[in-house]
Amino acid sequence: MTQFFADIAPITYQGPDTANALAFRHYNPNEVVLGKRMEDHLRFAVAYWHSFAWEGGDPFGAQTFERPWHPQDQMDRAKIKADAAFEMFDILGQPYFCWHDADIRPEGADFAGSLRNFEEIIDYFLGKMESRKTRLLWGTANMFSHRRWMSGASTNPDPDVFAYSAATVKTCMDATHKMGGENYVLWGGREGYETLLNTDLTRELDHMGRFLSMVVDYKHKIGFKGTILVEPKPQEPSKHQYDFDAATCIGFLRKYGLEGEVKLNLEQGHAILAGHSFEHEVAVAAAEGMLGSIDMNRNDYQSGWDTDQFPNNVPEVALTYYHILRAGGLGTGGTNFDAKLRRQSLDAKDLIAAHVGAMDICARGLKAAAAMIEDGGLDAALRDRYAGWDSNDAQEMLNSDFDSIFANVVSGKINPQPRSGRQEILENYVNRFV
Amino acid sequence: MTQFFADIAPITYQGPDTANALAFRHYNPNEVVLGKRMEDHLRFAVAYWHSFAWEGGDPFGAQTFERPWHPQDQMDRAKIKADAAFEMFDILGQPYFCWHDADIRPEGADFAGSLRNFEEIIDYFLGKMESRKTRLLWGTANMFSHRRWMSGASTNPDPDVFAYSAATVKTCMDATHKMGGENYVLWGGREGYETLLNTDLTRELDHMGRFLSMVVDYKHKIGFKGTILVEPKPQEPSKHQYDFDAATCIGFLRKYGLEGEVKLNLEQGHAILAGHSFEHEVAVAAAEGMLGSIDMNRNDYQSGWDTDQFPNNVPEVALTYYHILRAGGLGTGGTNFDAKLRRQSLDAKDLIAAHVGAMDICARGLKAAAAMIEDGGLDAALRDRYAGWDSNDAQEMLNSDFDSIFANVVSGKINPQPRSGRQEILENYVNRFV
Amino acid sequence: MTQFFADIAPITYQGPDTANALAFRHYNPNEVVLGKRMEDHLRFAVAYWHSFAWEGGDPFGAQTFERPWHPQDQMDRAKIKADAAFEMFDILGQPYFCWHDADIRPEGADFAGSLRNFEEIIDYFLGKMESRKTRLLWGTANMFSHRRWMSGASTNPDPDVFAYSAATVKTCMDATHKMGGENYVLWGGREGYETLLNTDLTRELDHMGRFLSMVVDYKHKIGFKGTILVEPKPQEPSKHQYDFDAATCIGFLRKYGLEGEVKLNLEQGHAILAGHSFEHEVAVAAAEGMLGSIDMNRNDYQSGWDTDQFPNNVPEVALTYYHILRAGGLGTGGTNFDAKLRRQSLDAKDLIAAHVGAMDICARGLKAAAAMIEDGGLDAALRDRYAGWDSNDAQEMLNSDFDSIFANVVSGKINPQPRSGRQEILENYVNRFV
Amino acid sequence: MTQFFADIAPITYQGPDTANALAFRHYNPNEVVLGKRMEDHLRFAVAYWHSFAWEGGDPFGAQTFERPWHPQDQMDRAKIKADAAFEMFDILGQPYFCWHDADIRPEGADFAGSLRNFEEIIDYFLGKMESRKTRLLWGTANMFSHRRWMSGASTNPDPDVFAYSAATVKTCMDATHKMGGENYVLWGGREGYETLLNTDLTRELDHMGRFLSMVVDYKHKIGFKGTILVEPKPQEPSKHQYDFDAATCIGFLRKYGLEGEVKLNLEQGHAILAGHSFEHEVAVAAAEGMLGSIDMNRNDYQSGWDTDQFPNNVPEVALTYYHILRAGGLGTGGTNFDAKLRRQSLDAKDLIAAHVGAMDICARGLKAAAAMIEDGGLDAALRDRYAGWDSNDAQEMLNSDFDSIFANVVSGKINPQPRSGRQEILENYVNRFV
Ligand SMILES: [Co+2]
Ligand SMILES: [Co+2]
Ligand SMILES: [Co+2]
Ligand SMILES: [Co+2]
Ligand SMILES: [Co+2]
Ligand SMILES: [Co+2]
Ligand SMILES: [Co+2]
Ligand SMILES: [Co+2]
């Protein structure tokens, strides 16, 4: 056992009135909400990269964190990092975690060397998981940090990088499968461009489509039953990322015939960067049956980059879970915190508290969403507003043509009268629950 | 003849050195660029609404313009407006114009009354067009200004509004067809939502898809040979507009099986609002063969709404035409100025000068783009950068699978080495031409 | 009595558990918070313009509302509007309201005619106020809607407009004084520019400074005891507004020697447009002793213009009141809702519900803020973080010079060690109260 | 001599028609513009940090550049870096460069160790400068990268960091003075906050004001004749930086009585992040006599962070130099490129080409600005627009009071009539020159 979290006891549910900074006030895993345990609704996951691999740097500053597993270039320290991570999973009672290959293993001298390191650490993880409840929500490949990916992975102008990417994803899918992961995620942070001047957009999109088809083929070949997910983000690090937002990804999947095979991992911060609310992105994916999983980390509304902060606004989180619950829940997905501490939050206690607070916010949001669903007020308002479309006349009209509709309108039979959209009343309604 | 432009003579080409504020310095219609007359490349159009119907209001202020055709609620003044408009087309030598129904005819007491007004003014236009070169680039229906559209047109919760919309578009398509219009455009400014709380996203999208299918069916029924175009815009007036950007529209068209029937009318200002450069939107549409036409009006980069200003930045415009030329040109589309004067620009001379300046900027942009194509520097850079993909090995790899690629990579045969993207050098190259 | 609100009874406090859409769930005027009645903390005001003069238009659409006082160009209907307004004040139990001259009186044929209308309606208002509790929080002049202001009011290139502005503000200050108004506000929506190309920035700023000095002189001359306030906003309708944000206004006031005479009226929506959180603007003004009053209306985070929506996010509102309470409260200021209904919210009930919801949100925010102050957790954290500065050594160092400090540092005596900023822990703390 | 730029000959002026990628097409140092050599107008400077210390990392990726002076932790390699830097200055004929202490010397074991390294490298630089024309435009201290600055420098909650900052700036001012630097710059990237929850805004601003006073005192004490400059930036790395924009800085300087001692170093990218055009920031500073120097590096308009790209848009650059020329030029300041290569631009040739292109863009902008000044069109338009203010009546009115102005207006003598602002005509005018 490491000493990193030595002073911190497992977090317990103590109810809304506790002043204990390290207790759950709302997250009570076994509490039943809409007929299901809260833990089974929320399916929380820790993001290994932000919580354990990120060292506190930003574009203007170096490392601020000093961890027992620094520097992260040796296998023995990778194991110390894993020890601390699983200790945190235990403290939080976390059901899931997620990794990139590069978070968990030191880079090797070459591909084969990196792979050996990776396989060794996967086995080390598996040993830890034997006696624990924590499972893998998803694995993914880091194909953006090393300089070889600077011009993209599957969309790289150099076919050798495509090859290196394919080999990398294969190993990450193998590891995810071996660990019983429930999803496999692709985030294409470098799949985009810095300038159109040096970019063959058509060719790159075709290569990305082909790559994703290979992912799907490989999934079936190895019998992986999890869900393949892509994660939209409009930009950063690229000036433009091909997986811009949910609608763009869905269009891309449909173009390459993958709409039945791939779903979306949506992140609140990325929604905001793309000019959307998070509930918009969730609703768009849900409308197409492509809601896969969520990264429930917020962006600062005054910052133009991805701040990846732990969620802290219940009203926003509640609307997200409302749309998730209406879509039937998260399925094989979960609530991942793709969130990092602020770089001034140096202490182990900060790391625990950040997760505790985030889990509580999500629990409050979930309960508010469930209460709205049980109350039924929003559903009733929607049914009422669109009731006209439920008539036979309306459906016949919808299936007719311009000429017949025109005849009805020009005769004066149809003269539509506006009705209030009642937005403020509905917003007030939501505020009864959050 | 009206007195509105009485002091203003037809604009002539006088070359780059003239100090005459009302002369073309770059736009020379008959000058041949890449084997085609400049006029035939650019296919300029005046937007009737901004130039003749807009009265100078903004969200915080009322009308500033005082025109002989104000107030715009009587047919006789609609004809004075038309007289002035065609006088301006003559002054500019403009080959095209565009209208919404509501720009050109006064609203009637009911649908039939509005239609009578519309038909009368269409005939009045046709009379004017007999003796002139100016043609209709596209017609469109204004389904966003009147209060009946406040909750959408084809996506309205009230089926009566869907019907009213269908009848309206039918009449606008009829008029466009009658006038020999080369395209028909749909911009869904109210096809979106103010709040998801009162919105059935799935239903509304399906209705919008169905509506567009009816448009396509009607086009074929009446034998209209022009192109059907949708115009993306992310928001304003809606908080969220369904036709968010090019990629979203393309995904939507593909979902509803319309990708072979409908193309895009792209606007620079809308690109910017959606977080894209204009050349990005053009390149995305071109990559799918869906580039239809452009609205070449810029947004202010420091304003968060659609400022619809005349273009004034040659380097930006040149990159747009570069992508248009590479895509084979504008086809049935053109260069529309969906641009309004600033509301302090009160005079007839301002209106003429704004168009003259915009046409000159586009002409400079076009010539720069053509020069880059003739020089071939950007194409060569692209070919060089992606040359690796032209090999048989690369193509075989692309058509293989993860296992075989993995075998090559793990053996150490593939070890990609980054090459410079040369962005600054390419930017410098462009600056040789603009 | 009008029939406009005929079906709506006065709003009463019914506690958090009521499902009544037209009841206060949190706002309980007589409830004592930190030793003061809630009503006396919050000092709510209705904005006459948005609630009664705005007709539901937006840049792409005309009027959607149909009110008994439309069209608003006749004195008799101005009185019906006033009747309805005061009926709403009664229904809400509203302690304050605010107006622009142009909201309450029809425009006359000339300045003198407008003034006669204005004086008549002011007397009409005074008659209504005799028997009521509702008072005037502030008056202001609309110097942005009429075309005469299109190029600015006090900053207009035409000195005649400066004169017209001065005369206008004089009459509005007179009326405010006569009605016992507690503040007078200046918002310079057109005091800025559309393009620097036609703008003499230096001259315009000097004119604006001179104008504000005249306002202050006139205040003293007539014995008006209220506070003079300026309202920052970065842009819209202007491309750039001189009163960009709190810091810019404070610098301006200091330059023209007005920092002791003028305070700020801060608006959440304007904070957001300027790239700030609302609590930032409040904290900046408070740090300078220039916090005057607030407009507690939010902007949509995904829209780039001023959406002026009623507040609905308790965590945000709570942080604002926290900074207000720490600064000693609102003084002569209040909580104005410079908020308009969404243009689809057509009904009288929407108008009432919007205010009820907003007042409840503010009440919740105030109570949460008060609870944080009583608990003292944030204050304690701050004291602890800056404790080093309370030592004599630190204060001596602060008053010393580079050479002496250098001597200490180079000797190795000073070697600072980072301490956690504890941001997530503090955010969690706030979430215990909201 | 290093081999880094071995293949690259000194850049010469070859005129606009050359296709040579490594030649000046517009920058001709000895060409006289408005009576002064182009070199003396523009006063170009290389930013040591971006060009030589930055390694190509971004928030999602590690180092991409491989330079002979990597890793940068040893004095011998710091000297190789200096050798290469001065070789580039020679190749470009660059008159100036700028540094942070941390760019040029390896960090030592403690303050005294870092200082020894710093003094050694300063002497090494001085040796190189003996035989060269290249001078120091400004020096500055990097008080944002090392973890000790994570919570601010002069605004740190820990007085020891204030002390460390004071000692650091003293050494950088000493070195700047010794090298004959013409300015000293302070950029407070960490002088701001991540969250107001842990920030005492009032205290921090006072400390920052006190610190800047110490800088000014020390300047006078050592007889440094250069200009002290602060560089505004709204955010990044901080969520909010105190030196938000020009207006905020000016207000701050005035508050602390420093407006006669300190000027501004303005950066285009930072203007954009703050919601301003660059010419706005220049005009604001010029209006107050506080224009000091410029960082002429652009931001990408579609990215929400500081992209620090080399300038490439002549029309934008021309307007900036127009305002600079009207303000009397750059004085002791210059045109610094606080710009970095894109991280995919790996080659030495990219670094040279980026500077060549940027210098050419600035030269074109300067010449266009000078031509506009010589032509006088903008000045004439401004004089005409404000001519009304030049009358005695207008000036008397400006110095009168509300009562006397009111008397004139109410009598009907003053009835202002709007005149066109002619924005499009002026924009067209500018396009004749760019
Ligand atoms: Co993110
Ligand atoms: Co994510
Ligand atoms: Co537009
Ligand atoms: Co358009
Ligand atoms: Co507002
Ligand atoms: Co306001
Ligand atoms: Co910068
Ligand atoms: Co800079």
The C-alpha atoms of residue D366 and residue D319 are separated, in whole angstroms, by 9
Domains parsed from chain B with CATH numbers: 32-375 (3.20.20.150), 390-431 (no CATH)
Task: Quote the mean pLDDT of chain B.
Answer: 97
Sort strands B32-33 and B36-37 into parallel, antiparallel or unpaired: antiparallel
Report CA torsion sign: D35, D37, D38, D39.
negative
**Count of CB atoms situated within 10 Å of the CB of D146:** 17
**Mutation for D interface: A305, A345, A350, most D CBs within 10 A:** A305
Catalytic site positions of A: 100, 103
The C-alpha atoms of residue A376 and residue B297 are separated, in whole angstroms, by 46
Q: How confident is the model at residue B357 (pLDDT cuts 50, 70, 90)?
A: very high
B279 is in an annotated binding site: no
- Nearest residue to B432 via CA among A195, D312, D16: D16
- Contact (Cβ atoms closer than 8 angstroms) between residue B290 and residue B250: yes
Tokens of A141: 């490949």
| Residue of chain B whose Cα is closest to the Cα of C156 | B344
Q: How far are the Cα atoms of C256, D192, D353 from residue D83, in angstroms, in the given order? A: 51, 36, 19
Between the CA of D245 and the centroid of ligand 7 the distance, in Å, is: 12
* Residue D384 CA, distance from chain mean position: 33
Count Cβ atoms within 10 A of the Cβ of residue C399 and give its class: 0-12 exposed, 13-18 middle, 19 or more buried. Answer: exposed
Q: What is the pLDDT of residues D69-106, one digit of tens each?
A: 999 999 999 999 999 999 999 999 999 999 999 999 99
Residues annotated within a binding site of A: 231, 267, 270, 295, 306, 308, 338
pLDDT at residue C2, rounded to an integer? 87
Count Cβ atoms within 10 A of the Cβ of residue C216 and give its class: 0-12 exposed, 13-18 middle, 19 or more buried. Answer: middle
Question: In this structure, which ligand is nearest to the CA of D47?
Answer: 8
Catalytic site positions of D: 100, 103
CB pairs under 8 A between B and D: 129
Segment C265-271 mean pLDDT: 98
Catalytic site positions of C: 100, 103
- Contact (Cβ atoms closer than 8 angstroms) between residue C325 and residue C301: no
Three-class SS of residue B196?
helix
Q: How confident is the model at residue B147 (pLDDT cuts 50, 70, 90)?
A: very high
Q: How confident is the model at residue B2 (pLDDT cuts 50, 70, 90)?
A: confident
- Contact (Cβ atoms closer than 8 angstroms) between residue C77 and residue C55: no
Residue B345 has its nearest CB partner, among D313, D424, D429, at: D424
pLDDT at residue C205, rounded to an integer? 98
Q: Which regions of chain A are under pLDDT 70?
A: none
Looking at the DSSP assignment, which residues form a beta bridge with residue B96?
Answer: B45, B135
Q: How far are the Cα atoms of C319, C417, D103 from residue D203, in angstroms, in the given order? A: 20, 20, 31
Q: What is the pLDDT of residues C113-156, one digit of tens each?
A: 999 999 999 999 999 999 999 999 999 999 999 999 999 999 99
What are the strands, taking DSSP E only, across C107-158?
135-140
Task: Quote the mean pLDDT of chain A.
Answer: 98
- Contact (Cβ atoms closer than 8 angstroms) between residue C325 and residue C282: no
pLDDT at residue A323, rounded to an integer? 98
- Which are the contacts of D392, defined by CB distance < 8 A and separation ≥ 6? none
**Beta-carbon separation of C421 and D251 below 8 A:** no
Residues of D in contact with A189 (CB under 8 A): 60
Is 80 exceeded by the pLDDT of residue C1?
Answer: no
Instruction: Give the containing element (helix H, strand E) for C45.
Output: strand C44-47
- Nearest residue to D342 via CA among D11, D65, D45: D65
ipTM of the complex: 0.98
The C-alpha atoms of residue D195 and residue D193 are separated, in whole angstroms, by 6
Q: What is the pLDDT of residues C215-242, one digit of tens each?
A: 999 999 999 999 999 999 999 999 999 9
- Nearest residue to C293 via CA among C258, C257, C268: C268
**Beta-carbon separation of D189 and A60 below 8 A:** yes
Three-class SS of residue B6?
coil
Sort strands D227-230 and D262-267 into parallel, antiparallel or unpaired: parallel
Tokens of C220: 């003293």
Residue D428 has its nearest CB partner, among B21, B423, B431, at: B21
Return the residue matching tokens 């005037």.
C136
pLDDT in tens, chain D (434 residues): 789 999 899 999 999 999 999 999 999 999 999 999 999 999 999 999 999 999 999 999 999 999 999 999 999 999 999 999 999 999 999 999 999 999 999 999 999 999 999 999 999 999 999 999 999 999 999 999 999 999 999 999 999 999 999 999 999 999 999 999 999 999 999 999 999 999 999 999 999 999 999 999 999 999 999 999 999 999 999 999 999 999 999 999 999 999 999 999 999 999 999 999 999 999 999 999 999 999 999 999 999 999 999 999 999 999 999 999 999 999 999 999 999 999 999 999 999 999 999 999 999 999 999 999 999 999 999 999 999 999 999 999 999 999 999 999 999 999 999 999 999 999 999 999 99
Interface of B with C (CB under 8 A): 56, 58-64, 144-147, 149-151, 189-190, 194-195, 235-237, 239-240, 273, 300, 302-306, 342-344
| Residue of chain C whose Cα is closest to the Cα of A277 | C302
Q: Which amino acid is at A409?
A: V
Return the residue matching tokens 């009570």.
A28
**Beta-carbon separation of D344 and A194 below 8 A:** yes
**Beta-carbon separation of A312 and C310 below 8 A:** no
- Contact (Cβ atoms closer than 8 angstroms) between residue B195 and residue A427: yes
From the DSSP assignment, how many helices (H) and strands (E) are in chain C?
A: 16, 12
Interface of C with A (CB under 8 A): 19, 21, 25, 64, 272, 275-277, 301-302, 310, 312-316, 341-342, 344-347, 349-350, 353-354, 356-357, 360-361, 418-425, 427-432, 434
Return the residue matching tokens 């396509």.
B216
Residue A150 has its nearest CB partner, among D235, D306, D344, at: D344
- Contact (Cβ atoms closer than 8 angstroms) between residue C333 and residue C43: yes
Between the CA of C318 and the centroid of ligand 2 the distance, in Å, is: 29
pLDDT at residue C369, rounded to an integer? 98
Count Cβ atoms within 10 A of the Cβ of residue B101 and give its class: 0-12 exposed, 13-18 middle, 19 or more buried. Answer: buried
Half-sphere exposure of B294 (CA within 13 A, CB side): 31
The C-alpha atoms of residue D258 and residue D211 are separated, in whole angstroms, by 11
Tokens of B66: 């005082």
The C-alpha atoms of residue C178 and residue C184 are separated, in whole angstroms, by 12
The C-alpha atoms of residue A26 and residue A24 are separated, in whole angstroms, by 6
Is 90 exceeded by the pLDDT of residue B193?
Answer: yes
All chains having 3 or more CB pairs closer than 8 angstroms to chain A: B, C, D
Q: Which amino acid is at A249?
A: C
**Mutation for C interface: B60, B140, B142, B144, most C CBs within 10 A:** B60
| Residue of chain D whose Cα is closest to the Cα of A147 | D64
According to DSSP H, which parts of D190-336 are helical?
201-222, 246-255, 268-273, 278-287, 314-326
**Beta-carbon separation of C194 and B151 below 8 A:** no
Interface of B with D (CB under 8 A): 19, 21, 25, 64, 272, 275-277, 301-302, 310, 312-316, 341-342, 344-347, 349-350, 353-354, 356-357, 360-361, 418-425, 427-432, 434
Three-class SS of residue A281?
helix
Please identify every residue whose CB atom is under 5 Å from ligand 3, which is an ion.
B 269, 306, 308
Q: Which amino acid is at C373?
A: I
Residues of A in contact with D306 (CB under 8 A): 59
Task: Quote the mean pLDDT of chain D.
Answer: 97
- Nearest residue to B51 via CA among B310, B358, B340: B340
- Which are the contacts of C238, defined by CB distance < 8 A and separation ≥ 6? C189, C190, C191, C192, C193, C194
**Beta-carbon separation of D357 and B432 below 8 A:** no
Angle between helices D75-92 and D348-375 (to 10 degrees): 40
Instruction: Give the containing element (helix H, strand E) for A75.
Output: helix A75-92
- Which are the contacts of B261, defined by CB distance < 8 A and separation ≥ 6? B216, B228, B253
Tokens of A117: 């390191």
D295 is in an annotated binding site: yes
Residues of B in contact with D348 (CB under 8 A): none
In chain B, what is the straight-line distance between the N-terminal and C-terminal CA atoms, in Å?
40
The C-alpha atoms of residue C215 and residue C232 are separated, in whole angstroms, by 17
Q: How confident is the model at residue B162 (pLDDT cuts 50, 70, 90)?
A: very high
The C-alpha atoms of residue A432 and residue A430 are separated, in whole angstroms, by 5
Sort strands C227-230 and C262-267 into parallel, antiparallel or unpaired: parallel
**Mutation for B interface: A115, A148, A158, A423, most B CBs within 10 A:** A158
Q: How confident is the model at residue C291 (pLDDT cuts 50, 70, 90)?
A: very high
Sort strands A240-241 and A135-140 into parallel, antiparallel or unpaired: unpaired
Report CA torsion sign: A263, A268, A273, A274.
positive
**Mutation for A interface: C14, C425, C429, C434, most A CBs within 10 A:** C425
Question: In this structure, which ligand is nearest to the CA of A45?
Answer: 2
The C-alpha atoms of residue B274 and residue A8 are separated, in whole angstroms, by 46
Q: What is the pLDDT of residues C58-103, one digit of tens each?
A: 999 999 999 999 999 999 999 999 999 999 999 999 999 999 999 9
The C-alpha atoms of residue D330 and residue A407 are separated, in whole angstroms, by 72
CB pairs under 8 A between A and D: 94
Q: How far are the Cα atoms of A102, A311, C275 from residue A307, in angstroms, in the given order? A: 21, 11, 15
Is 80 exceeded by the pLDDT of residue B1?
Answer: no
- Nearest residue to A88 via CA among A121, A134, A131: A134
pLDDT at residue D1, rounded to an integer? 77
Half-sphere exposure of C366 (CA within 13 A, CB side): 29
C374 is in an annotated binding site: no
Instruction: Give the containing element (helix H, strand E) for D99.
Output: strand D96-100
Residues of C in contact with A360 (CB under 8 A): 428, 431
- Which are the contacts of C356, defined by CB distance < 8 A and separation ≥ 6? A428, C11, C21, C22, C23, C24, C92
pLDDT at residue B204, rounded to an integer? 98
C295 is in an annotated binding site: yes
Question: In this structure, which ligand is nearest to the CA of A231?
Answer: 2
Q: Long-range contacts of range C81-85, CB-CB < 8 Å, 24 or more positions apart?
A: C81/C52, C81/C53, C82/C121, C82/C124, C82/C125, C82/C128, C83/C1, C83/C2, C84/C2, C84/C4, C84/C5, C84/C52, C85/C46, C85/C48, C85/C51, C85/C52
- Nearest residue to A285 via CA among B205, C432, B134: B205
All chains having 3 or more CB pairs closer than 8 angstroms to chain B: A, C, D
